[in-house]
Amino acid sequence: MDRYAVVGNPVAHSVSPRIHAIFAAAAGQELRYEKILAEEFVSAADAFFEHGGRGLNVTLPFKQDAFGWVDRVDDAAREAEAVNVVAHDDDGYSGYNTDGIGLVRDLRDNLGLSLNGRRILVLGAGGAVRGVLGPLSRTGADELVVANRTESRARVLRQVFPNIGAASLADVRGAYDLVINGTSAGFAGEVPDIDPQAVRNAFCYDMSYAPGSDTPFCAWSRAHGAAGVSGGLGMLVEQAAETFLLWRGVRPPTAGVVAALDRG
Ligand code: ATR
């Protein structure tokens, strides 16, 4: 049976094995998908592929290591300088980044948001945000602003994505149609410190997720008049569907998968 895995640290919480099991069943395919807890990426990847692995998902903190390790990358991975999917074929190892397309597909196809001509605010300027800015910048949005606690990190991103705006959290003003939280503040139970007016009547999306409940950012946005909120489980499912397509040649249906995962 073809072997796949997600490698990360920590990785115990990963829902990727469950998502790929649902996809494999829907596509009538048999595969094995496991979790690999690694101290270091290169030796873990070498060992996995030496033992017949076909493809790897890469999660924190190894996406940059994977970018440096593969033989070639697609445009999304080059922009993100991060790889979340590795495929092994006759020519070696190919690296891809499906995070950004996963986010855009969730926003558009599952949540029904039109991004063309909209004002989008992205909070955070770390690896998670860098991974999604390329696809987000190609949605036809009227304005795409990245605001970060440390403003200089947002400004650095303009070297790669010249059309975005950069700001500090304290400088966020005005109204947005869509506010995306890409900070890690929620892991500490915190919310990025922005003017609540920014989320009023906006759709608020948190790239992290908390199974079965709101993230701190979603709860805060709801309390401050957001038009709607969503955690990032849909992005994860869509990212995984793109991954399945790369590995197995078919795009599995994603409708209902978020609800099935949320039910536990
Ligand atoms: P990741 O790869 O998950 O993006 P990272 O590169 O460490 O991780 O980036 C974490 C992001 O969350 C950064 O934008 C960070 O802001 P700084 O650049 O100012 O450190 C942001 N962040 C973390 N905790 C935060 C908090 N309590 N409030 C606001 N932003 C926070």
The predicted-structure confidence for 142-179, as pLDDT tens digits, reads as follows 999 999 999 999 999 999 999 999 999 999 999 999 99
- Å from CA of 214 to ligand 1 middle: 19
pLDDT value, residue 211? 77
Q: Quick one: pLDDT at residue 129?
A: 96
- Atom 29 in ligand 1: residue holding the nearest Cα: 192
- 63 has catalytic annotation: yes
Query: How far is ligand 1, taken at its centre, from the CA of residue 189, in Å?
Result: 13
- Residues in contact with ligand 1 by the CB-under-6-Å rule are 124-129, 148-150, 153, 183-185, 188, 190, 192
> Which one-letter amino acid corresponds to residue 18?
R
* pLDDT of amino acid 96: 98
Average pLDDT for 185-199: 96
Rounded to whole angstroms, the Cα distance separating 248 from 24 reads 9
Task: Give the tens place of pLDDT for each residue, 88-113.
Answer: 988 899 999 999 999 999 999 999 99
Q: How far does CA 69 lie from the centroid of its chain?
A: 20
**Residue nearest (by alpha carbon) to ligand 1 atom 7:** 126
What average pLDDT does range 32-59 have in this prediction? 97
Ligand 1 atom at minimal distance to the Cα of residue 127: 2
Model pLDDT for residues 198-252, shown as the tens digit of each residue: 999 999 999 998 877 899 999 999 999 999 999 999 999 999 999 999 999 999 9
The atom number, within ligand 1, closest to the CA of 129 reads 4
DSSP reduced 3-state for 264: coil
Strands 85-89, 92-96: pairing kind: antiparallel
**Residues of the chain above pLDDT 90, percent:** 93
At 147 the three-state DSSP class reads: strand
pLDDT on residue 120: 98
- 263: confidence class by pLDDT, cuts 50, 70, 90: confident
Sign of CA dihedral 255, 98, 244, 217: negative
Distances (CA, A) of 210 to 37, 185, 215, 231, 249: 21, 13, 6, 7, 31
Cα(151) to centroid(ligand 1), Å: 11
- With beta carbons less than 8 A apart as the criterion, state whether 152 and 128 touch: no
Select which of 7, 53, 62, 63 is catalytic: 63
Q: Is the dihedral of CA 135, 158, 232, 118 positive or negative?
A: negative
Gap from CA of 173 to ligand 1 centroid (Å) = 20
pLDDT at 259 over 90: no
d(CA 137, CA 101): 11
Mean pLDDT, rounded, of the chain: 96
Q: With pLDDT > 70 as the criterion, what percentage of the chain qualifies?
A: 100
pLDDT at residue 81 above 90? yes
Given a contact cutoff of 8 angstroms between Cβ atoms, the answer to whether 230 and 207 are in contact is no
Q: Supply the residue whose CA is at minimum distance from atom 31 of ligand 1.
A: 185
